[in-house]
Amino acid sequence: MGIIQRGMRTIFLARRTRFLCEARWLVCPSPYRRVHGGGESQQKERFLITTPIFYVNSVPHLGHLYSAVLADTVHRWQQLKGAGGSIFSTGTDEHGLKIQQAAVSHGKDSLQFCDEVSQHFRDLFSKSHVGHTDFIRTTESGHRKAVEHFWRKLQSAGYIYQGKYEGWYSTSDEAFVPDNKVMDSVDKTTGKNIKVAMETGSQVEWMEEENYMFRLSEFGPRLLKWLDSNPRAVYPSKYRSLVRGWLEEGLEDLSVSRQRDRLPWGIPVPDDSTQTIYVWLDALVNYLTVCGYPDNHHAHWPADCHVVGKDIVRFHAVYWPAFLMAAGLDPPRSVVTHSHWLMESQKMSKSKGNVVDPFDRIQRYSADGLRYFLLKHGVLEADGDYSDEKVVKVLNADLAGNIGGLLNRCLATSLNPTQTFPAFSADMFPMHLGKKSNSLATEEDYKLLKTLQELPGSVDQHYENFHIYKVLEETMLCVKQANGFVHRHKPWKLGDSPQDREWAGTVLHVAMETLRVSGILLQPVMPDLMSRLLSRLGVEETERSWSDAEKVPCAEGIEAPYVGRTLGADKGVLFQRLQKKN
Ligand code: MSP
């Protein structure tokens, strides 16, 4: 419950330091705070984090994996801090014109097609250690019931009316596009003149239909209030400003159904089987379905965090909170928005043929290697350019070199013949510099211990801010400092005298403490690799929680309980160095 306790602490801090909010969640009202919601909500107790649900029109690519790995890492961090009973949901978005057309083009029945592609996403997540608690498919009957109930709520509250939609529609984005957001273009394959959406570049078609409209135009002021009173409503600030701009421009009512004769692949509008519910309304409700809506969602709602890519921020930060407000539910606490992965400066997309196959890259680099790269080079605010050369360089330097190198040094049988966790000598490395005559520790060595003690606190803030690259940078720096420390004292050059052996053990102890603490803190990013590291160091499963990383006994003048313990079995190199040309 660490995060909730912190949330409570921040309530009081927030009064004086609101202006610092973007820099640190610690000083803002945490989006994870327990609140007593208005409307239909009751007391919320449990953490809920989600990924978008993925379209099944084609198999997953690296960009999809990134959304999921980011959410998974933050969820694992929450769990490491003790958040129990949380939900981390993902799944597949299976209705709509785009999927209907994809099934036809593959000559398959729609559901059979969805079954197959959805399974690819499941496989990918299981291979890449994405530990979701729920995997939802919008074709499930439980979801259909939730959508029907939600629709009826909107309707009975008076927010849905029958109307006519005349305008542009992009099937690729499954989005209605206003006239002033459409421009002329030429289809590269046919050479024909077409219209495209300015924001996404995808082709739009004119559509005129009788359908149901949602009174989105009424929600501008309430949405602005939500945005302005909650610094994390849309995060980071770049996207918050974007959303603010849209709200200030004013909102138009939104078509929320399609004629069923044109779009049979979807959930029919309750009590009107001539209409199909708009795929985005259907899809967004998945977040409620996973927490038991309409009967049992109270413990989890509102969602703490929806992780989304920048292309779908409008749906999550404008439509979704408005739908929720209309249905008498609280809007989400936070919509965390990330940028995209590019391939040679172009957005990855199947039509461009430049997608990176995550299954293939997991085979080359291991799941945790790929996760490490994505999180080290992916930042929320800016697009990242993928290249295999970069992956090889980063993984060799950080995992094979920095962490793997330190582990090898500490555990080499020549240096550690008994294969036990060595003792720390408080005489040779006293708590304070220069306090004892036989102290061998230098000023630099004290700096290492200080960095190690401070690491959990600062890494914690980086996780909270979704600055995973900073988590990795700082931890790697600390490991680097430990490598420097070992190098400085060269334990392999020490002799066999009891004093020399005591000092060699002390040096190894400090280096292994660095690996232990770093290993615990990096578990959310590389669950498998760090588990192997910790096992090799002899750290028990019950000693791998966040609070275990916060304790560095040797720096506190306490004897560590694991001193003298036999190390875990040697199961080979931690991370195999990669060849340049993979
Ligand atoms: N089905 C909708 C989401 C509905 S949620 C209620 C959808 N699906 S998607 O498959 O197109 O995209 C899913 C996620 O993958 C989005 O967050 C999107 O931003 C992300 N990515 C797709 N391509 C991407 C990159 N090239 N890079 C990073 N993420 C990208 O939208």
Calculate mean pLDDT across residues 219-239: 97
Residue 437 is predicted with a pLDDT of 72
Mean pLDDT across 569-581: 91
Cα 104 to middle of ligand 1, angstroms? 22
* Residue minimizing CA distance to atom 19 of ligand 1: 309
Give, using CA atoms, the residue closest to atom 10 of ligand 1: 54
Which run of H or of E encompasses 527? Answer: helix 527-536
**Do the beta carbons of residue 359 and residue 120 sit within 8 Å?**
no
How high is the pLDDT of residue 503? 96
Which has more confidence, 581 or 427? 427
Instruction: Choose which residue among 51, 54, 147, 170 to substitute to test ligand 1 binding: the one with the highest number of ligand atoms within 8 A of its C-beta.
Output: 54
Picking from 41-45, 184-188, 494-498, 513-517, which range would have the lowest pLDDT averaged per residue? 41-45
Burial tier of 68 (Cβ tally within 10 Å: 0-12, 13-18, 19+)? buried
Ligand 1 atom with least separation from CA of 93: 1
In sign, the C-alpha dihedral spanning 265, 271, 275, 279 is negative
Between the CA of 66 and the centroid of ligand 1 the distance, in Å, is: 9
Mean pLDDT for 44-48 is 80
Reported as type and span, the H/E element at residue 161 is strand 160-170
DSSP result, 451-504: HHHHHHHHHHHHHHTT-HHHHHHHHHHHHHHHHHHHHHH-GGG--SSHHHHHHH
Name the least confident of 30-34, 176-180, 276-280, 378-382: 30-34
Task: Give the HSE-up count for residue 371: Cα atoms under 13 Å, Cβ half-sphere.
Answer: 26
Pairing of strands 384-386, 341-343: parallel
Report the nearest-CA residue for atom 5 of ligand 1.
52
pLDDT attached to residue 350: 67
Q: Using the Cα atoms of residue 536, residue 542, residue 544 and residue 550 in order, give the sign of their dihedral.
A: negative
Name the residue at shortest CA distance from atom 14 of ligand 1.
64
Average pLDDT over the chain, rounded to whole? 90
Q: How far is the CA of 399 from the centre of ligand 1 (A)?
A: 29
Handedness of CA 289, 292, 298, 303 (dihedral sign): negative
Distance 516 CA to ligand 1 centre (A): 36
Distance 184 CA to ligand 1 centre (A): 25
pTM exceeding the 0.85 threshold for the entire prediction: yes
Where does the pLDDT of residue 468 fall: very low under 50, low under 70, confident under 90, or very high at 90 and above? Answer: very high
Percent residues over pLDDT 90 in the chain: 82
| pLDDT band, residue 319 (cuts 50/70/90) | very high
Band of residue 186 on the pLDDT scale cut at 50, 70, 90: very high
pLDDT at 43: 57
Contact between 255 and 213 under an 8 Å Cβ cutoff? The reply is yes
Residue 520 scores a pLDDT above 70: yes
Distance 59 CA to ligand 1 centre (A): 12
pLDDT single digits (tens) 114-154: 999 999 999 999 999 999 999 999 999 999 999 999 999 99
216 contact partners, CB below 8 Å, separation of at least 6: 251, 252, 253, 254, 318, 319, 322
Position 44 scores a pLDDT of 63
Does the pLDDT of residue 8 top 70, yes or no? no
The string of pLDDT tens digits covering residues 410-451 is 999 999 999 999 999 999 998 887 766 788 999 999 999 999
Look at residue 19 in the predicted model and tell me its pLDDT.
26
Give residue 581's pLDDT.
65
Query: Among 123, 124, 130, which residue's Cα sits nearest to residue 49?
Result: 130
C-alpha 308 to ligand 1 mean position (Å): 7
Name the band, by pLDDT with cuts 50, 70 and 90, for residue 580: confident
CA of 64 to the centre of ligand 1 (A): 6
Q: What is the pLDDT of residue 351?
A: 65
Biggest alpha carbon distance in the chain?
A: 91
What are the distances in angstroms from CA 138 to CA 79, 92, 293, 352?
27, 7, 14, 28
Dist. CA 173–CA 312, nearest whole Å = 9
Q: Per residue in 354-397, pLDDT tens? A: 899 999 999 999 999 999 999 999 999 999 999 999 999 999 99
Does position 248 have pLDDT exceeding 60, yes or no?
Answer: yes
Do 286 and 92 touch, CB atoms closer than 8 A? no
- Given a contact cutoff of 8 angstroms between Cβ atoms, the answer to whether 192 and 186 are in contact is yes
What is the SS3 assignment for 169? strand
Which of 2, 86, 24 has the alpha carbon at shortest distance from 235?
Answer: 24
The pairs formed by 12-15 with CB atoms below 8 angstroms and a separation of 24 or more are none
Laid out side by side, the sheet with 346-347 consists of 346-347, 341-343, 384-386
Weakest-pLDDT range from 65-79, 114-128, 287-301, 349-363: 349-363
Mean pLDDT across 88-93 = 98
pLDDT band at 16 (very low <50, low <70, confident <90, very high): very low
pLDDT at 14 over 60: no
Instruction: Locate the ligand 1 atom nearest the alpha carbon of residue 308 and give its number.
Output: 17
Ligand 1 cavity residues, CB under 6 Å: 52-55, 63-64, 66-67, 93, 283-284, 286, 308-309, 311-312, 340-341, 347-348
CA separation for the pair 265, 531 (Å, rounded): 44
Task: Report the C-alpha gap between 396 and 472 in whole angstroms.
Answer: 14
